[in-house]
Structure 1
Amino acid sequence: MDYEKSDEKDLITLNNDMIRASYKLSVNEIRLILIAIAQMPKGEKDKESVPLDPMKPYYITKADFIRLGVEPNNVAREIRSACSDLLDRKIFIDTPIGVLGTHWVHNILHFKTDIFEELKRKYPNSKYDDDFIRQLRKHNLLDSLPMIAKSDDNIMARIIFHADIIPYISELRQHFTQLKLDEMAGFSSFYSFRIYIMMMQWRDTGFVISTLAAFREMLDLTDKYDAVKDLRKRVLDVAIDEINEKSLYTASYSLTDKNGKSGKGFKLTHLKIKFKPKAKIIKSKAKGKTERDANTADMFTVDGLNDKQLGRIARNPAFMAEYNHLVSPTSLAGQSQQGWELEMVNRLKKDASQFSKRPIREYLEY
């Protein structure tokens, strides 16, 4: 997609390892986090080219939540709900040197908007609003939230991300996925957000393949919905139906064994999600109104090779031997041939410079 500069404030950029990370949030918590991420500098595209200070605060307002489909009368309650448990939430990211377990945020507050505006006028140059926060505590506003809960006063949230999270959501140069905040407007299920973001990582292929074990771990379902019928009913059906209804894509899924077969007698171990843009989006592309984002894989070709040829290269034993260090054995790419091929084709098209051990076409000659 072509993300205009005027819309960059709504752009979400996530490291692909973070997309596959294991975590569970409430729907309000993931709304809050995505809204904050959309406010972050976008690297070279953003005027703020200096490294991001990890102590920078981000503010989420009533209008932000309404844009994501929250009923205006419920916004104060939804923001309070988003803040209530987020400080304790953890995320587990698979890295080349092991699994990183960390918290999402360093701290989080919520308070009345009118007091916020008053104190910001009083302390316009306060670094990271330290004076402002001290005044909130002095006024005992942070402890008066139950009183706010009983009123219809507008409130807002203030969060500072944990320093461990910053490298996965800021100033990314490779192996990342971008999408617009408004693409997820109206989602009411945490699983819809997670599956849609996972789809967007592979938007150039039109499908996602994962083992059920990896999918369960990603959504923190290792001890929940053990029966496949429950996983279908409580997670997959809910998310896919909502994505079809409220997003720019239509999607479907299938559960199969490791060889892609399903039916009575087959052990279902893999999930495949197929998706494509809705007709009106395809039509607008034909009219030249929508173009591919320069950061998505299908914008590029590698030495004139098509996807089928790149797939052959990724499956080449010599290629696999020379570049298997690029993925973790526990990642999706390290668990199946299909996962490896998808990941490598995507990487080749995004940044072929990392595959420099020999001319890329040599792998077609084996």
Structure 2
Amino acid sequence: METPPMVYKSNALIEAAYRLSLQEQRILLACISQVRRDEVVTDEVLYSVTAADLAQLSGTAIEAAYSELKTAALRLKRREVRLTEEPNGKGRKPKVMITSWVQTIIYCEGEGRVELRFTKDMLPYLTELTRQFTKYALADVAKMNSAHAIRLYELLMQWDSLGRREIELDQLRDWLQLESRYPSIKDFKKWVIEPAVAQINEHSPLQVSWSQRKTGRRVTHLVFDFGPKKPAKVSRKSLTKRNDSESNAELAALARPGESWEQLRDRLNRMSKVD
């Protein structure tokens, strides 16, 4: 089974402060998933994505993808990201770097295609990562229609091994670069948190619940509990006898990254016995 496109980001980039539109996120993530992990990558490499690619990934109409691609690509060139590196050693203060995502954007007129080069400063956060990084399948977020949902999903996947993450409210607002928007906790939950969690629960492999924690009378932290969705039961009969394209597509949706057909069938068989 072919390994699906994966997104790798350093944890410093996961927790960086920036704001991107949904289409800008899709362009970036589609290109990040193309970054090679088996060789040194320089800032000369061009990554390409088409409107057709984005439409297929997100399950949206190709006409909409075409109309949004050029605008989003040109806007992406101007986007900045603020990264904070924690100090190595006592007494040192964190280092803050403000840089751009891409150094070059090329829009191919008539082709509905964008080519981009990441900046030299950005590459260390995307390639040759050996520790303190987060990874997930591009398909996990491809159908989300909220940029906040994608960001929240990444922040949760950073703590995937624990299944719980508590985030300070002011810190989350800074990471999402909300500035003065949604100043009340009621509006913040209604327009940011609730839609993002709903999107994650609908489109990703995670099931998320959340609560809030107060310091005194003020809500200061959000607590997210999450874990993998329980896969739908697949009978032994369907696993052994159904070989048509529909059943294969259903099975592929349950596969973990890098899992072969045989490994998938064995795992689902064991789960059905436990149930």
Which TM bucket (shorter chain)?
Answer: 0.7 to 0.9
Find the aligned partners of 1:281 and 1:20 in 2 and give their Cα distance: 33
Do the aligned partners of 1:108 and 1:157 also contact (CA within 8 Å) in 2?
A: yes
Taking a change above 3 Å as real, the CA distance of residues 216 and 71 of structure 1, as seen in their structure-2 partners, is: same
Match of 1:324 in 2: none
Asked if residue 86 in structure 1 is aligned to residue 114 in structure 2, the reply is no
Taking a change above 3 Å as real, the CA distance of residues 239 and 291 of structure 1, as seen in their structure-2 partners, is: closer
Match of 1:257 in 2: 214
Taking a change above 3 Å as real, the CA distance of residues 281 and 34 of structure 1, as seen in their structure-2 partners, is: farther
TM-fit CA distance, 1:111 = 1.3
Match of 2:13 in 1: 18
For 2:201, give the aligned amino acid. Answer: N
Asked if residue 101 in structure 1 is aligned to residue 98 in structure 2, the reply is yes
Asked if residue 7 in structure 1 is aligned to residue 17 in structure 2, the reply is no
Taking a change above 3 Å as real, the CA distance of residues 266 and 204 of structure 1, as seen in their structure-2 partners, is: same
Asked if residue 192 in structure 1 is aligned to residue 149 in structure 2, the reply is yes
Do the aligned partners of 1:68 and 1:186 also contact (CA within 8 Å) in 2?
A: yes
TM-fit CA distance, 1:290 = 5.5
Does the residue aligned with 2:44 lie in a helix, a strand or coil? coil
Match of 2:64 in 1: 74
Find the aligned partners of 2:183 and 2:51 in 1 and give their Cα distance: 38
For 2:33, give the aligned amino acid. Answer: A
Do the aligned partners of 1:255 and 1:271 also contact (CA within 8 Å) in 2?
A: yes
Match of 2:266 in 1: none
Match of 2:172 in 1: 215
Do the aligned partners of 1:248 and 1:281 also contact (CA within 8 Å) in 2?
A: no
Q: CA RMSD in A?
A: 2.4
TM-fit CA distance, 1:55 = 1.6
Match of 1:322 in 2: none
After TM superposition, the score normalised by the length of structure 2 is 0.79
Q: 1 or 2, which has the higher strand percentage?
A: 2
User: Greater shift after overlay, 160-169 or 92-101?
Assistant: 92-101
Taking a change above 3 Å as real, the CA distance of residues 291 and 65 of structure 1, as seen in their structure-2 partners, is: closer
For 1:29, give the aligned amino acid. Answer: E
Of 207, 226, 243, which aligns to 1:275?
226
For 1:7, give the aligned amino acid. Answer: T
Does the residue aligned with 1:41 lie in a helix, a strand or coil? coil
Do the aligned partners of 1:35 and 1:60 also contact (CA within 8 Å) in 2?
A: yes
Seq. identity, %: 29
* Aligned 1:147-158 pairs, distance under 5 A: 154-158=111-115
Does the residue aligned with 1:202 lie in a helix, a strand or coil? coil
* Aligned 1:250-329 pairs, distance under 5 A: 250-258=207-215, 266-280=217-231
Do the aligned partners of 1:69 and 1:187 also contact (CA within 8 Å) in 2?
A: no
TM-fit CA distance, 1:266 = 2.3
- CA displacement, residues 29-55 of structure 1 (integer Å, 9 cap, x when unaligned): 01000000000012xxx3xx2x21112
Match of 1:201 in 2: 158
Does the residue aligned with 1:256 lie in a helix, a strand or coil? strand
Find the aligned partners of 1:57 and 1:71 in 2 and give their Cα distance: 26
Asked if residue 58 in structure 1 is aligned to residue 55 in structure 2, the reply is no
After TM superposition, the score normalised by the length of structure 1 is 0.60
Taking a change above 3 Å as real, the CA distance of residues 193 and 283 of structure 1, as seen in their structure-2 partners, is: farther
Match of 2:204 in 1: 247
Find the aligned partners of 1:156 and 1:291 in 2 and give their Cα distance: 30
Do the aligned partners of 1:252 and 1:275 also contact (CA within 8 Å) in 2?
A: yes
TM-fit CA distance, 1:223 = 2.0
Asked if residue 35 in structure 1 is aligned to residue 12 in structure 2, the reply is no
Structure 2 gap ranges (5+): 87-93, 240-253, 259-275
Larger of the two Rg values belongs to structure: 1
Do the aligned partners of 1:13 and 1:178 also contact (CA within 8 Å) in 2?
A: yes
Find the aligned partners of 1:282 and 1:24 in 2 and give their Cα distance: 39
Taking a change above 3 Å as real, the CA distance of residues 282 and 105 of structure 1, as seen in their structure-2 partners, is: farther
Do the aligned partners of 1:28 and 1:81 also contact (CA within 8 Å) in 2?
A: no
Find the aligned partners of 1:200 and 1:244 in 2 and give their Cα distance: 13
TM-fit CA distance, 1:90 = 0.4
Taking a change above 3 Å as real, the CA distance of residues 291 and 181 of structure 1, as seen in their structure-2 partners, is: closer
